[in-house]
Every structure is written in structure tokens, then in C-alpha cells.
């Protein structure tokens, strides 16, 4: 395979200090992995002692990062396999895409109690269960949007490229990597970044997870911050937050920025863009002699392997239809479909069985809880929109302001709300109705950025000539907002709010029911219903409330957001 992974300019550089950095980085990664793995297979801890010493922080940061990395790799593999199969097999697609749609609208955190309990039961002797649970949770938060992005990209590969690949008889392997994956890289990188940011949110939640009197916390940055908040140790809180932000910025600089700069070559447009994304780290990597030799060696090895099955193409090719895909696809297709269907039927059957245990009274309570949480979600969204729209438009329309504020906003937005949640809870619990406020605040913290970033993007996309025309005709004040700005940013705003809604519902599960100083506090709502049902082992209630949330969120998406999005597409598109 020669999927263009080789990082390289055309000249081979000399061995330099960058190579030392690369070597040190690789050694560090290996060491960290071995250390963690040894911990995973160590004896199960009934409770984790979190050290607040600053010296413990690097190890905690490493542990958290590793969980993120594993979950991301899992998500990426899932994306390529699932999205690839769905996009290239009509019959599979009909089943796989609706499944993905359902998975996407299920609030992930409602899985957490179930997943943690199941995996701990599966690995009772080691920490592996809890660790796996955290990875799986992050995975479920990351995979769906990446998979959708990949699937949509593959489905929109230009017809001409498809025809060219058929005409020149590209192999399955070439079509997948050279055409489909290459065409999808840009969308995949952006979605990976979003997923990664979302992953922090869930990682923090997973690391600080307790259920009633059971302690499933994991050593990491999230639990460090929680422990610090529990003890009211402000020095540790600040230190933990600084470490978290530094880690997020570092990963952005050495992973995502280089990837964005690298992925620019996969743009479909055939014009050279004036301001191609840059990355200092990618530039440095390209100066590493070590990486150059490595990529050259890889290319050489790949050519050797390819040549081993060489034949001459000069003899006339027989006029035969190409075989319809690999035999394995045909052999696997039906059993897999049948298996999936059987699994789905079984699942529905079991859930129905569980649901019959729930009494009518409980059901009424769940519906009431739904509306209570709905009102919190709506509150968080309204507050979010009210401040982000004017601020976002101000930033988007003012290049100087956006140059100064964009990086600041990005850093602030990158702090996962769940990391600061223990601090907020510590501060607000003593106040009357404090948890109610804290709950809405967490939703807001977790979701307002989606709205803000989308509004900024929308404001930046307002054509200059329209703004000038508005200025010439003296359009200002409310008229300016109503006739120019709001219609222009409408589609962006809706996209932001749609994403924010999902996040807010998710946040309700960790924000309505909290454990502080070994005591549980809760406010009535669907989120606390889910968590307390899990804590008390009431799986019928857990299922009923999770299902209610999933159906409710899906309905709101269909009835409200998708309609508004379509309206935005049709009426306010600028082209």
C-alpha cells in the first residue's frame, strides 16, 4: 500500500536535533504504554487514591492521554471499516446507515453505568474493566460523526474519478486508499478534531465515575481535578487546569495542526489556495533525516512486495467482466446481515421484556423528568445563543478582533466542561437551588462553544458587498440584524444549536446527580433518573429512561432542528 503517509519534501535532510526529538518521543510513548499496561493488569482497586502532589501530574496526564489515543484509534478503525462498507455496498448500506443514525441519537453517558458495571463484572480481578469502559465510552462519543463524515465523503467522490478508476481498472485496495480515503481525509481530520475535543469531556466523566457507594474512579487528570475540588485545594485545582490546558494545546500543536497542514494536499479544488494551513511541527518533522529514511525504506519495501506479484501488462487483456468484488465480501455479506438482524430482534425483545416491569406510575415520572431536563436544556441553549450571537458576530466581522480572540476562545473552549464541574459543584452546593444552577451551567459550558464557533464562521461568510450595500443604504440597528446578519448566519446558528442540544442532553446525566464528599446530591430530571436507576440496579428504569431520552432527542431533532436546517439551506444559502 502506498497511502500517502510519507511525510517528506523531495530532498533528504541530514541527521539533526529533530531526530533526537523524534527518538525521544518514540521512547517516551513506549515507556508510557508499558507502564500503563502493567497497571491495567494489576489487581483491581476498590477505590483509587488520587495524589494531589504536582509530581503525580505528568503520570496522570499521560494516563488520560493514552486512554484518549486508544479510543481514537478504535474510532478511526471503526470509521474506515464501517463507513467504507456502508458506502460501497448498497445492501449493507440500507441497514448500516439507519443503525448509525440510531446510535448517534442515543445519549452516550446513559450507557456509562451499564457499560462500567458489565465490564467490571467481566474482569473482576484487574483494573482492565474500568479502563476498557472509559475507552469504550470515549469511542462511542467519537466514532459516529467520524463515520458519517467518511461515509458522506465516499458517497460524494466525483463521478469522473469513479469512472477514471473503473476505466484504468484500479484494484479494490487502490480505490479504497487512493481515492475514497484520500478524498475523505480533510473531512475526517476536522471531524477527528471535534471528536477528540468531545472525547475529553467523556474521559473526564469516566475518570470521576462513582455509582452510589461504588467507586469506579480512574487515576488521571479528571480524577485529580475532582479530588482537588473535594479538598478545596485551590493550588492543585489551578495546577491541574493548567496541565490540562497545556496538554490540550500541545496535542493540538503536535498532532492536529500538522495533520491539517498535511491534509491540505487532498483538497479537491484544482487551484492553489493562497493561505494554505501551516504547521511548524510538520515543517520540523519534514527536516528529520530519520523519518525520511523510514519513509524511503517503507516505500522500497512496498515496491518489492508489489513487484513480487508482477506480471507484464503488455499482453492483450482478455475482454471479461471484472469479478464482482472479493469472494469474501459475497461469502460474508448474508451471514453478517442475518446475524445483525437476529441480534437486533433479540435486543428489542429483551428491552420489551424489561420495559414491562416498569409500572405506569414510574413511566409518568419519567415523562415528567423528561420535561424537567428539557427545560434545563432549553435554558442552557437560550443563554448560550443570547451571548454567543452578538459576540460571535462581533468577532467574525472584525478581522483584528478575530485574530486576537480566536486563539483565546479556542483554548477556553478546549477545556472539557466535565473537568471544571467538580469545582462548580463545590462552589454552588451550599447555595439554595445550587445544583440546578450548576447543572444548567455545565450544559452551557459544554455546548456554548459549538454555537459560538458556528456563529463566527457564519459572520465571516457574510459577503463584503452585502455588508457594504447595507452600509450604503443606511441599514443599521435592529434592521441590520434582521435583514442582513440573522439571515446570513441562520444556517450556521442552527448547525451550532443542533450540535449543542445533543451535548446538553448528554451533560444532564452527569450534572443532575453528583457525589460530593461521599454524599449524593440530585435534582429531579431524566439525567438523574438514569444515574440513580443505574446506582440502584433498576435496569428496567434505566432502560425506560434512556429510551425516553433517545426518542425525545431524536424527535426534537426531527421536528425542530432538521426542519430549521432545511429551511436555512433553502432560503438563506448564499450562492
Partner 1 sequence: MARVATKVILEASGIVKYYDGSKHPILVLDHVDLGVRRGEFLAILGPSGSGKSSLLRILAGLAEPTQGEVWFDGQRQVGVNPRAAMVFQSFALFPWLTVQENVELGLEARSVATAERRERALRAIDLIGLDGFETAYPKELSGGMRQRVGFARALVVEPEILMMDEPFSALDVLTASNLREELLDLWLEKKMPMQAIIMVTHNIDEAVLMADRIIVLGHDPGRVRADVEVALPRPRNVKDVREQALVDRIYRLLTHPEEEYPAVEVPLAVPVQRPHVTLPHADIGSLIGLAELVANRGGREDLYDLGRDLQMEIDDLLPLVEAMELLGLATISEGDIELSRAGRQLAEGGIQDDKALLREQIVRHVEPIREIVERLEAEPSRKLSWDELHEEWQRFFSPEEAENQIETAIDWGRYAELFAYDEDSGNLYLENPES
Q: Which residues bind partner 1 (CB under 8 A)?
A: 4, 10, 158, 160-161, 163-164, 166-171, 174, 178-179, 182, 265-272, 303, 306-307, 309-314, 316-322, 571
Residues 114 and 156: beta-carbon distance below 8 Å: no
Kind plus residue range of the DSSP H or E element containing 265: none
- Shortest reach from residue 214's CB to partner 1, in Å: 51
- Shortest reach from residue 244's CB to partner 1, in Å: 36
- Shortest reach from residue 479's CB to partner 1, in Å: 21
Which lies closer to partner 1 via its Cβ, residue 467 or residue 483?
483
- Shortest reach from residue 267's CB to partner 1, in Å: 7
Of 443, 417, 439, which is closest to residue 523 (Cα–Cα)?
439
Using CA atoms, how far apart are residues 320 and 318, in angstroms rounded to an integer?
6
Using CA atoms, how far apart are residues 365 and 505, in angstroms rounded to an integer?
18
CA atoms within 13 A on the CB side of 107: 29
**What HEC string does 9-26 produce?**
CCCCCCCCHHHHHHHHHH
User: Buried b vs exposed e over 104-143: b needs ≥16 C-beta within 10 Å?
Assistant: bbbbbbbbbbbbbbebbeebeebbbbbbbbbbbbbbbbbb
Which lies closer to partner 1 via its Cβ, residue 49 or residue 269?
269
CA dihedral angle for residue 85, residue 88, residue 94, residue 97, rounded to 10 degrees = 50
- Shortest reach from residue 488's CB to partner 1, in Å: 18
Q: Residue 126 to residues 40, 123, 131, 141, 296: CA-CA distances in angstroms? A: 7, 6, 10, 25, 42
- Shortest reach from residue 278's CB to partner 1, in Å: 17
Using CA atoms, how far apart are residues 102 and 95, in angstroms rounded to an integer?
11
Which lies closer to partner 1 via its Cβ, residue 172 or residue 473?
172
Residues 117 and 53: beta-carbon distance below 8 Å: no
Which lies closer to partner 1 via its Cβ, residue 4 or residue 365?
4
Using CA atoms, how far apart are residues 500 and 127, in angstroms rounded to an integer?
33
CA atoms within 13 A on the CB side of 305: 8
Which lies closer to partner 1 via its Cβ, residue 163 or residue 283?
163
Which lies closer to partner 1 via its Cβ, residue 319 or residue 408?
319
- Shortest reach from residue 313's CB to partner 1, in Å: 4
Which lies closer to partner 1 via its Cβ, residue 6 or residue 357?
6
Which lies closer to partner 1 via its Cβ, residue 121 or residue 270?
270
- Shortest reach from residue 269's CB to partner 1, in Å: 7
Amino acid at each position: 500500500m502506498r497511502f500517502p503517509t510519507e511525510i517528506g519534501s523531495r530532498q533528504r535532510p541530514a541527521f539533526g536535533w529533530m531526530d533526537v526529538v523524534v527518538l525521544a518521543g518514540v521512547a517516551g510513548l513506549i515507556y508510557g504504554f508499558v507502564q500503563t499496561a502493567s497497571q491495567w493488569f494489576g489487581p483491581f482497586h476498590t477505590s483509587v487514591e488520587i495524589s494531589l502532589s504536582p509530581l503525580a501530574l505528568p503520570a496522570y496526564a499521560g494516563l488520560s492521554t493514552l486512554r484518549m489515543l486508544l479510543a481514537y484509534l478504535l474510532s478511526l478503525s471503526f470509521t474506515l471499516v464501517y463507513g467504507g462498507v456502508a458506502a460501497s455496498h448498497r445492501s449493507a448500506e440500507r441497514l448500516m446507515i439507519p443503525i448509525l443514525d440510531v446510535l448517534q441519537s442515543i445519549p452516550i453517558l446513559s450507557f456509562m453505568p451499564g457499560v462500567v458495571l458489565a465490564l467490571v463484572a467481566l474482569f473482576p480481578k484487574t483494573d482492565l474493566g474500568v479502563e476498557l469502559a472509559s475507552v469504550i465510552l470515549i469511542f462511542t462519543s467519537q466514532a459516529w460523526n467520524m463515520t458519517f463524515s467518511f461515509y458522506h465523503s465516499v458517497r460524494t467522490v466525483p463521478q469522473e474519478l469513479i469512472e477514471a478508476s473503473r476505466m484504468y481498472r484500479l484494484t479494490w485496495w487502490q480505490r479504497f486508499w487512493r481515492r475514497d480515503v484520500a478524498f475523505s481525509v480533510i473531512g475526517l481530520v476536522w471531524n477527528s478534531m471535534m471528536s477528540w475535543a468531545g472525547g475529553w469531556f467523556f474521559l473526564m466523566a469516566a475518570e470521576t465515575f462513582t455509582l452510589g457507594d461504588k467507586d469506579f474512579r480512574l487515576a488521571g487528570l479528571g480524577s485529580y481535578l475532582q479530588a482537588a475540588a473535594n479538598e478545596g485545594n485551590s493550588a492543585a485545582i489551578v495546577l491541574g487546569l493548567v496541565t490540562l490546558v497545556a496538554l490540550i494545546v500541545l496535542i493540538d500543536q503536535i498532532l492536529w495542526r500538522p495533520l491539517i497542514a498535511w491534509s491540505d494536499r487532498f483538497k479537491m479544488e484544482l487551484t492553489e489556495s493562497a493561505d494554505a494551513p501551516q504547521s511548524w511541527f510538520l515543517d520540523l518533522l519534514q527536516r528529520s533525516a530519520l523519518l525520511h529514511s523510514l519513509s524511503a525504506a517503507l516505500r522500497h519495501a512496498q515496491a518489492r512486495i508489489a513487484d513480487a506479484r508482477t506480471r507484464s501488462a503488455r499482453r492483450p487483456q482478455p475482454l471479461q467482466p471484472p469479478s464482482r468484488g472479493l469472494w469474501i465480501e459475497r461469502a460474508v455479506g448474508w451471514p453478517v446481515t442475518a446475524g445483525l438482524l437476529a441480534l437486533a430482534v433479540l435486543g428489542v425483545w429483551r428491552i420489551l421484556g424489561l420495559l414491562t416491569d416498569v409500572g405506569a406510575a414510574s413511566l409518568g415520572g419519567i415523562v415528567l423528568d423528561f420535561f424537567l431536563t428539557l427545560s434545563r436544556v432549553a435554558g442552557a441553549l437560550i443563554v448560550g445563543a443570547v451571548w454567543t450571537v452578538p459576540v460571535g458576530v462581533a468577532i467574525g466581522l472584525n478581522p483584528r478582533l478575530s485574530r486576537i480572540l480566536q486563539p483565546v476562545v479556542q483554548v477556553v473552549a478546549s477545556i472539557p466542561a466535565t473537568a471544571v464541574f467538580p469545582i462548580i459543584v463545590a462552589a454552588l452546593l451550599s447555595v439554595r437551588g445550587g445544583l440546578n444552577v450548576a447543572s444548567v451551567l455545565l450544559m452551557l459550558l459544554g455546548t456554548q462553544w459549538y454555537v459560538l464557533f458556528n456563529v463566527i464562521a457564519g459572520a465571516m461568510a457574510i459577503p463584503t458587498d452585502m455588508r457594504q450595500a447595507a452600509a450604503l443604504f443606511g441599514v443599521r440597528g435592529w434592521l441590520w440584524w434582521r435583514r442582513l446578519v440573522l439571515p446570513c448566519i441562520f444556517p450556521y446558528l442552527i448547525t451550532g444549536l443542533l450540535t449543542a442540544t445533543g451535548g446538553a442532553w448528554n451533560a444532564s446525566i452527569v450534572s443532575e446527580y453528583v457525589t460530593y464528599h461521599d454524599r449524593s446530591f440530585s435534582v429531579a430530571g431524566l439525567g438523574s433518573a438514569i444515574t440513580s436507576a443505574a446506582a440502584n440496579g433498576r435496569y428496567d428504569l434505566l432502560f425506560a429512561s434512556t429510551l425516553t431520552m433517545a426518542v425525545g432527542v431524536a424527535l426534537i431533532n426531527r421536528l425542530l432542528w432538521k426542519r430549521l436546517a432545511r429551511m436555512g439551506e433553502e432560503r438563506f444559502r448564499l450562492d
